[in-house]
Every structure is written in structure tokens, then in C-alpha cells.
Amino acid sequence: MAVASFSPSFTVSPSPPIRPANRVSIQTRLRSIPRATLTIDSGSSGGVAAGKPKVLLEVRGLKAAVKENGKELLHGVDITIREGEVHAIMGKNGSGKSTFSKVLVGHPDYEVTDGSVVFKGENLLEKEPEERSHAGLFMSFQSPIEIPGVSNFEFMLMALNARREKNGLKPIEPLEFYGYLGPKLAALKMEPTFLDRNVNEGFSGGEKKRNEILQLAVLEADLAILDEVDSGLDVDALQDVASAVNGLLKPNNSILMITHYQRLLEIIHPSFVHIMEGGKIVKTGDSSLAKQLDEGGYKAISTV
Ligand SMILES: Nc1ncnc2c1ncn2[C@@H]1O[C@H](COP(=O)(O)OP(=O)(O)OP(=O)(O)O)[C@@H](O)[C@H]1O
Ligand SMILES: [Mg+2]
């Protein structure tokens, strides 16, 4: 029995329950370990080449439909994301933003009917969801799933080690991992007790969002897709989460974020803002596009 039917990071199989004794010791050990010095090599393929940064993701004419009934939702999406860039996708409710990001990570509800997606030089569409995450593509969901019976700590360690194994790296030991997690938790102002709790179980909306960013920070995504990471966050939480997202950005990785609001883009400055409408990107510009939208609504943006 699979605990989670779909996970972007790896397949969650029923794992042995974690004994309460272990759970208590996580916090104690975290406190006693010097703050992280470990640098985890994500196995990513290099830095910024001379001249223009390398293309990380190239999507051309992507069409996708609901697998169950064949209804087409994406009608030809085009986007190019280079290393070091932050892209924002905005658009009205139901315009296809979440569908697009779920199709990228290989969500089983959707079927690609046309077009191409190349990620780090390889055809992403022929990869299983798990292989996509091992390749460095991660998504923070609009509504993160709960995983009963699997602690947050265990989940992240398993996900990280699964990726390391695929990249020919030796697994991180739990103790080493505690030290690695410390500053990442601190950056997100998360209590170590979150490590002991089952993934997202009983987390408030804002806590789930922080936890999603923690997972991304741990897994060191090459391309992090954030679907409405700002939704339901109070003002302070928005600042913490956005600052942590800024901290994720390195010269050789990228962020694709979906948002309805300019306020997030005031903290995480996008290189490009795209407007999605009817399952397509209909306009691309710089951050002034988001400002225009904020001030005048979608009618202020002519897409003809
Ligand atoms: N599995 C599915 N089955 C049927 N319809 C779907 C499915 N997934 C998405 N849709 C439909 O596709 C359209 C686009 O949905 P999507 O979730 O991508 O919108 P969105 O742009 O993310 O909107 P929001 O801003 O409200 O989050 C919606 O009309 C939605 O109902
Ligand atoms: Mg959505």
C-alpha cells in the first residue's frame, strides 16, 4: 500500500514507524550539533558558462489533456528558463498555471498530447516523476499533501539520499543531516519539532508553505516550481518564506513561481513575468507587468 499516491520527490513506501524515543532525540541532537558546514553536491551539471547562462528548461508548444476524459487544458505553452533566472507566472483563476507545473513534474492526472520539454539537455517527458526529481526538478504544491506515518525528517533524508544515490553520491548519515538542517530551519524560523511530526499532518496553511520551502532547500533543486507559495501566509511569514526562497537562488539554478500578487515579487525579484490565459502564455515582460496587473487588473494588460 502506498502512503502517498503521488510524490514529486520520490515514491513514499510504507516505512517502519518511527519510535517515539527516536523522535524526541531529534531535537536534542539538533541542539547539540554545530551549525551546518556540510555542502551537499546536488550533482547538477555545472555553473554559468561564459556569455549567456545555460538554458535549464525549454518548453515548446506544450499541449496536455486530462487523462481521464481527454479534455485539453494546455494549448501550446512556450517558455525558456535559463540558469540564475526567476520566472513568475501570473494569470486568472483556472488559466492553467497549476496544470502546467503539474505536467512538468509528471503528475499522473495529465497526458501530454503535443510539444516538447527539455530539462538540462534531456527530454523531460520520457522520464518518470521520480526521475524528474532526481534530475533536479521540484515542485511546491498549491495544496501540499499530508503523509501519515512518515516524519518530516525521515521524508527529507530519504528524498535527499534517493537523489544522491541516483547521482552516484554516498548517502548522508542521519547525524550529518541534522547539522545540515539546522541553519535551513533557522532561516525559515521553524522549530526543530517540525522534523518529528508527520509530513504536513496537522500543519497550518502557513506551516505547510514553510515546510515546502524547507524541503526545496534541503533537496537543492535545479529548478524549483513554487505554486502560490504566498497563499495563506501572514505578512511576517511571507517575508520569511520569500527571503528563504531568495536564499535558494544560486547562479546555476532557477525558480519558477506562480503567484497572484505583486507583493511576493517585491521580495523575490523576477527576471521575467509571464501571463497565462486559456492554457497558454499570452504575454511576457519584466516586473513592470506585475505592477501593471496589481494596479489595473487583467484589463490593464492587453494581450492582443
Ligand atoms: N484533473 C483535472 N480534471 C478536470 N479538470 C481539471 C483538472 N485539472 C485542472 N482542471 C481544470 O483546468 C483548468 C485550469 O486549472 P488550474 O488548476 O491549472 O488553474 P490555475 O491557473 O492554477 O488556477 P488558480 O489560480 O485558481 O490556482 C480549471 O478549469 C480546472 O478546473
Ligand atoms: Mg493553481
User: How confident is the model over 254-301, as pLDDT tens digits?
Assistant: 999 999 988 899 999 999 999 999 999 999 999 999 988 888 888 888
* Number of the ligand 1 atom closest to the C-alpha atom of 95: 21
- CATH topology for 54-293? Rossmann fold (3.40.50)
- The pLDDT of 65-81, averaged and rounded, is 98
200 lines ligand 1 (CB under 6 A): no
* Residue whose CA lies nearest to ligand 1 atom number 16: 96
130 lines ligand 1 (CB under 6 A): no
pLDDT digits (tens, 9 = 90+) for 189-226: 889 999 999 999 999 888 888 898 999 889 888 999 99
pLDDT digits (tens, 9 = 90+) for 132-141: 988 999 988 7
In Å, how far from its chain's centre is CA 4? 17
The CA 33 to ligand 2 mean position distance, Å, reads: 40
Query: What pLDDT does 161 receive?
Result: 94
279 lines ligand 1 (CB under 6 A): no
Closest CA relative to residue 132, chosen from 142, 111, 116, 117: 117
Ramachandran assignment for 121, one of left (phi > 0), alpha (psi -120 to 50 degrees), beta (any other): left
* Ligand 2 ion: Cβ-proximal residues, 5 Å cutoff: 98, 142
The CA 96 to ligand 1 mean position distance, Å, reads: 6
74 vs 80: CA distance, rounded Å: 16
Mean pLDDT of the chain: 83
Q: Specify the residue for cell string 500578487.
A: 261
The domain limits of the chain are 54-293
The whole-model pTM stands at 0.83
- The pLDDT of 179-186, averaged and rounded, is 90
State which of 75, 95, 102, 231 you would mutate to test the pocket of ligand 1, scoring each by most atoms of that ligand within 8 A of its C-beta.
Answer: 95
Q: Specify the residue for cell string 523576477.
A: 270
- Cα 221 to Cα 56, 163, 225, 233: the distances in Å are 12, 10, 9, 23
296 vs 270: CA distance, rounded Å: 20
Query: What pLDDT does 206 receive?
Result: 86
Higher-confidence residue of 82 and 2: namely: 82
